[in-house]
């Protein structure tokens, strides 16, 4: 199957590399790569591996907004029956208020604010628990068509 490769540059020598199927728009693999030591860091059990990364918008300082979501649309999602998949996953989202363990379905999307340096450090230590501020989340009944930076927000 033909795949598209998405590369997101994070901190210094760290990038996220995703392989997404062109036909079915599913995430085939996700890697966090450290180019300084030429090594892949495991993302197993993380929200990144379960949902995939849709977009990153840099904010000021070390903060970024991430949109996580499994659907990578290269064609219209209208009438896409695969969006009704009800497989449930347990993802370790550790919010800034200390709460964790949200229920994640295949069609789950969320928009979060992360400190990129902290994100990389936590992915290296325990990818199942990443500290992030969840701004909003969605499932098969709604989606975030786009996101943009407005001023400092």
pLDDT at 114 > cutoff 50: yes
The pLDDT value recorded for residue 82 is: 38
pLDDT at 84 > cutoff 50: no
Q: What distances in angstroms separate CA 68 from CA 16, 35, 151, one per listed residue?
A: 13, 23, 22
3-state secondary structure of 95: strand
Task: Provide the domain limits for residue 35.
Answer: 3-75+85-138
User: Which residue, 118, 125, 101, 121, is CA-closest to 50?
Assistant: 101
pLDDT at 90 > cutoff 60: no
Q: Is 92 among the domain residues?
A: yes
Cα 36 to Cα 13: distance, rounded to the nearest angstrom: 6
**Which two structure tokens, joined as six digits, stand for 38?**
């030429």
Task: Map tokens 């969840």 to a residue.
Answer: 134
Least confident of 20-29, 131-140, 141-150: 141-150
Q: Is 80 among the domain residues?
A: no
Q: Is 145 among the domain residues?
A: no
Give kind and range of the element (H or E) at residue 133. Answer: strand 130-138
Under 8 Å between Cβ of 53 and 138: no
Mean of all residue pLDDT scores within the chain: 74
Quick: pLDDT tens for 17-53. Answer: 998 888 877 778 889 999 999 999 989 888 888 888 8
Cα 142 to Cα 125: distance, rounded to the nearest angstrom: 33
Q: How confident is the model at residue 106 (pLDDT cuts 50, 70, 90)?
A: low
Task: Map tokens 């993380």 to a residue.
Answer: 46
Q: Is 149 among the domain residues?
A: no
Q: Is 34 among the domain residues?
A: yes
Number of structural domains the chain divides into: 1
Under 8 Å between Cβ of 116 and 64: yes
Q: Which residue has the higher pLDDT, 149 or 153?
A: 149
Q: Is 150 among the domain residues?
A: no
Q: Is 146 among the domain residues?
A: no
Residues whose CB is less than 8 angstroms from the CB of residue 76 and which lie 6 or more positions away in sequence, other chains included:
none
């Amino acid at each position: 199957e033909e795949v598209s490769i998405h590369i997101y540059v994070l901190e210094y020598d760290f990038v996220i590399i995703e392989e997404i199927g062109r036909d079915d728009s599913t995430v085939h693999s996700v890697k966090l790569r450290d180019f300084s030591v030429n090594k892949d860091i495991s993302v197993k059990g993380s929200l990144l591996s379960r949902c995939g990364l849709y977009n990153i918008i840099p904010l000021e300082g070390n903060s970024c907004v991430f949109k996580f979501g499994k659907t990578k649309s290269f064609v219209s999602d209208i009438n896409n029956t695969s969006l009704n998949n009800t497989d449930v996953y347990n993802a370790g989202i550790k919010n800034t208020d200390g709460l964790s363990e949200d229920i994640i379905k295949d069609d789950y999307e969320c928009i979060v604010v992360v400190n990129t340096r902290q994100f990389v450090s936590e992915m290296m230590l325990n990818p199942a628990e990443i500290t992030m501020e969840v701004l909003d989340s969605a499932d098969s009944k709604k989606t975030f068509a786009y996101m943009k930076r407005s001023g400092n927000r």
